[in-house]
Every structure is written in structure tokens, then in C-alpha cells.
Amino acid sequence: MRTLATQSIKQVGQTITAMGWVQSRRDHGGLIFIDLRDHTGLLQLVINPETAEAFKTAEELRDEFVIAATGTVAERDENLRNPHLETGGVEVKVSEIRILNRAETLPIQPFSDAQANEDLRLRYRFLDLRRAKMQHMLKRRAEYYSFMRRYVEAQNFTEVATPILANSSPEGARDFLIPSRIHPGKFYALPQAPQQFKQLLMVGGVPRYYQMAACFRDEDPRADRLYGEFYQLDTEMSFVEDGEEVRDTFDPLIKNLVTEFAGKKLLSDTVPRIPYAEAMEKYGSDKPDLRFGMELVELSDVFAESQFGVFKNAVAGGGAVKAICVKGGASLSRSQIDSFTDTAKAEGAGGLAYLTYKDGEIQSPIAKFMNEVELTEVKNRSQAEDGDAVFFGADTRHVVNKVLGRLRNEFAVHFGLKDPGVVALCWIVDFPFYELDEKTGKMDFGHNPFSMPKGGAHALDTTENKLEILADQYDMVANGYEICSGGVRNHNPEVLYKVFGLLGFDEAYVEEKFGAMLNAFKYGAPPHAGCAFGLDRLFMVLMGEDNIREIVAFPKNGSGLDVMMSSPSTVDGHQLKELSIRGSED
């Protein structure tokens, strides 16, 4: 492949033709110098007035013109070499220039230190992609895909493509619906995941399946979640009854991606397995960042009979009092504490109580409400020292964990505790099979309806409090981001009927939604399990980015709009008519 980087000192004396974009043009007293750019770097061109036609053309050139320049490769003078460029030791004495395409003044400056705002860059993404960072990102993403393919294929996984036009199913997010022209009134759905298809592949005798699967969910975008579409390394393994076999299979892949592909350090050579309940109590999150400590400390028993009414009432009402110790937290200003208080309130707290330890004294508005035993227990359990601060949560256990979990993360950001060169992995296991919907107060699936409840049908029948039933499900977490979700699948029709039945769905509903899978399970379905890694989010972590839109070629913006292609857009009335859909004007 002919690239500018190949126009090296080894070609001195040879005549070459180099093609690329004009990065810059400089007129130096009769000589014109041009930095020509392609995806590999820059090459300096020199045009002498003696080559009249070429010189005349060079005078027309402006930034981002696309040109082809023919000339002789020559060594630069020793004092004019650029050690920072691969081609910095040579230049091309140009004899001919052809303008392949002209460029208007760019609406953004991709090579400027001061970048345009995100929406403007996304509107002109085809220009933004010219940045060296974006070129590097696209290349590394291709290498990332190859790295994973090599691993899973060495583990005897077979790649199978599953349908994009699929059926609607309750995966936990809104579907994108596609109206059918030839079946008026009916809809396809873009798959939220290839869940049912990959389970059917297991029934079909495929021993190990994988796919770089396109998935579609109508969820609000955020910094770590693309709007609408994303990709996952989707996998499934037949004759597997224990999720640990899946986890052991993929631990080496992710660890190697961290160390070999990304060149980062692992916090631990082993990937810990942490039960969901423990994660929530210890870190206030089922996506804990383990690069730092600051674990939640249980203090409910300490304040059960306290004179401090806020804490005592929380415990008496069945709630909890917990705390986190922030090393160096005594240095926080009043305005900074107020900012963290606002964060706590946004998560449902009424306020943010705290103690600071400074110069051997405890300073706090609430210290006067605590006796010596309580103050000593707080200090001992939190392991607070001089210069630290202890922040409290007192409310329902759910709210306390949520508030302190969020604060734990925010304090870590403030004090720079998140080492970007380290990746901390863990598996969160033993998720609740059911949970209460916060909006409706009704019981719903906690994770994935296709997973096997631990204990199977027996657990469904005999567990009095259905919220105590655990699912054989597991998530992998990296630096506080969920990068994988998986589970041991429910391959028994009777158990599938039961798990939906407990939510009030009858057998007819289950057969309507999952008829193909239920029918297949009647003909010798093997036990099976699998997982799916979020390719975009995992790549974001590996590349050290905190905005997922920076690692994708053509993302939607933060409002779910493709501002470059003006999507979504209205469509012609006759198109709607073909689909038996009425427009807003009808």
C-alpha cells in the first residue's frame, strides 16, 4: 500500500507520486513548502519557482485540498530534520502537482488544539474523523475485533449471524418497531439482543456460538451508552449448567485485552466473584469500581438507641445508618461539601451529615448529638485518621446504599483515586430474580427473564418471599462499568411458565411471545449458558475514554440525533400509506 510513511529515506533519489491532503502551505521567499497528510502522517513537499507549472499550482493550494505531487525524494539538511516525524529526514522536490479536489474553508478545525463543541463535530463527523486521534481509534477498534475473534475461535466457538428483523420481546428496554408492509398492522422489532436465537442454536446442536451482534434499544443516551444501536460479543455454550464455566472461559480473554491489547495493568491477576447483595452493601453499587477502597461501613447497631434523632429514627423505621471514610476529606471546603450534599440529595437523601478529623479534634455540626461511645465506634469502624472525613447516610437501606455509592464514586473523582493505567475486574453474581418496580411498586424481572432461577422450579414453589429468589446470572464489571451480562439459561418450559406466571402472565402470553423457543425446548434442549460483552463500552474502558461517542465512527449525539444525516426525519406520506400508518396530518 502506498502511504506517505513509506516515502522514507530508503527512497532517496527515487521519483515518487504522493497523494493526500494539504495540511499546511508556507511561502518562504520564493520556495513553497507544503505538509502533505494521509492517515500515516506528514510528508514535506518543496516547490521551486523553476518548476513554473508546479509552482503556479502550489500558489493556489489551500488547507485540505486533495493533491497528487510527483517529485524526487531528497534528504533534508541535517539542521532541518524533524525527529518527531517518521518522514522527518526527507522531503520531496516537486516537479508536478495535480489538484484532485478542492476544499472550501472548513466549518471545524480538526487539527486545532481548541476543538469545536461535540454537536458541531458530529455534524461534520467526516471532517472530525481526519483527526489523528480518530484515525487511531478506528484502527485500534479493528485490531480489537480481530483480537477477540482469534480468541473465541481458538476456543471452538462458531460465528453465526442471527436475524435483524425479529419479534418484540421483553428484554428490559423499549423496542424499535418496524411496521410490515405485506402484513398490515403487524410489526417486526429490531433485536435488543439475539437472546432467543442463540438459545435456539443450542437446541439446534451448535456447541459454542458467537457473534459480533448489532443490538438495538430505545434507551436514553449517556456518557457510557450509545443511543439506539450498539454491538456486543454475544456468546453461548451448550451442555453448561454452571455459570462458573462461562466465567472461566472468558476471564483470560478480558485479562489479555487489558494487558496485551491495551497495555494496562490489572489490579488483580484473579477476577473476584462478588454476590450482588455484598456489592450493594459494601460499595453501594452493582458496578463497583475496585481501584479504590472507601467501602461502606455499617453503623445501624451503633445508633439504634442514639440521642441523634435522624439516625435513631432511620434504624427504628427498618432503615440503616452507614458511612464512608474519605481520606484527606478534612481538606474539603464548605462549598465543596455543599456540592457533594447536592449530589446526595439528587440520589434521594435529605442532606449529608459528616464528621471531620482535624488537628486531633472532631469538627461537625452533628458531633454534639453523639456520645463518646458512638464517636469512638464511628472512628474505629471507619478507620478514620487525622485529616479524614466521615460522611453518613441514614434512610431506607436502598437509599443509603444508593447515596453513599454515588458519593463514593464522586469522592474518588475529586481526589484522583481512579488510576487510568489500571483496570479492576470483577464478576457480580447471584442477582435477585425478581425486584419491585420503583414506579409501579409491582414485582418485575430483576435482570433477564430467560435465566434459570437458582433452585429451579423448587425455589419458585417453596420460597415464600419471591424477592429472595436468586438468578443464576452474572455481570462483569471493569472500573465501575458493566461490560458483560450473562446467565445460565432456563431450558425447561415448565419453569419458564412459572417465572412469568408469578408476574401474572398466563401460559398463552408466554406462548405468544416465546412460542418458537418453547416449542424447541420440547425436543431435547441441552442445558446452556452464555454471556455478552458490550463491545463499545469495553473498548471505551480499554482506551481510557470517558465518552463513548469518541470511540465510534458515526454516533448519535447526546439527544439521540444524527445531526450529520438529519436522522430521525419525516418520510413521505405515500411511504406511510404503504405501511398502513396514518401521518400526523391525517
- Compute the distance between CA of residue 228 and CA of residue 560 in angstroms, rounded to an integer: 7
Give the burial string for 257-280 (b: 16+ CB within 10 Å, else e).
bbeebbebeebeeebeebebeebb
Is residue 85 within 8 A of residue 46, CB to CB? The reply is no
H-assigned helices in 61-101:
none
pLDDT, block means (10 residues), the chain with 586 residues: 63 92 91 93 93 94 96 90 88 96 94 87 95 94 98 98 87 85 93 93 97 94 91 98 96 98 97 97 98 97 94 95 97 96 96 94 91 95 96 96 97 97 98 88 85 89 91 96 96 90 90 87 94 97 94 93 93 88 68
Q: SS3 of 545, please?
A: coil
Residue 447: all three cell numbers together: 435482570
Q: Report how far apart, in Å, the C-alpha atoms of 266 and of each of 129, 161, 254, 271 are.
A: 31, 33, 10, 9
Task: Please tell me the pTM assigned to this model.
Answer: 0.91
CA-closest candidate to residue 208, choices 238, 253, 232: 238
- Compute the distance between CA of residue 74 and CA of residue 43 in angstroms, rounded to an integer: 12
- Compute the distance between CA of residue 407 and CA of residue 478 in angstroms, rounded to an integer: 19
CA-closest candidate to residue 391, choices 274, 300, 508, 294: 294
Give the burial string for 159-182 (b: 16+ CB within 10 Å, else e).
ebebeeebbbbbbeeebbebeeee
For residue 98, the surrounding DSSP H or E stretch is strand 90-101
* DSSP of 407-447: HHHHHHHHTT---TTEE-EEEEEEEESEEE-TTT--EEESS
Handedness of CA 107, 113, 116, 121 (dihedral sign): positive
- Compute the distance between CA of residue 250 and CA of residue 53 in angstroms, rounded to an integer: 62
Give 477's strand partners.
426, 482
What pLDDT shows up at residue 84?
84
- Compute the distance between CA of residue 334 and CA of residue 326 in angstroms, rounded to an integer: 15
Cell 522531503 belongs to 91
What pLDDT shows up at residue 5?
66
What pLDDT shows up at residue 121?
94
- Compute the distance between CA of residue 485 and CA of residue 474 in angstroms, rounded to an integer: 6
Residue-range domains of the chain with CATH: 4-101 (2.40.50.140), 135-257+425-552 (3.30.930.10), 292-417 (3.30.1360.30)
- Compute the distance between CA of residue 105 and CA of residue 107 in angstroms, rounded to an integer: 6
Is residue 155 within 8 A of residue 233, CB to CB? The reply is no
- Compute the distance between CA of residue 310 and CA of residue 312 in angstroms, rounded to an integer: 6
Find the distance separating the first CA and the last CA of the chain, reported in whole Å.
Answer: 56
Which residues have C-beta within 8 Å of that of residue 412, sequence separation ≥ 6? 289, 291, 292, 294, 418
Is residue 409 within 8 A of residue 255, CB to CB? The reply is no
Q: Give helix 507-521 / helix 195-203 axis angle, nearest 10°.
A: 40
What pLDDT shows up at residue 439?
81
Q: What DSSP designation does 76 have?
A: P
Measure CA 70 to chain center. 45
- Compute the distance between CA of residue 242 and CA of residue 248 in angstroms, rounded to an integer: 11
Q: Report how far apart, in Å, the C-alpha atoms of 10 and of each of 33, 70, 71, 133, 343 are.
A: 22, 17, 15, 28, 60
For residue 498, the surrounding DSSP H or E stretch is helix 493-501
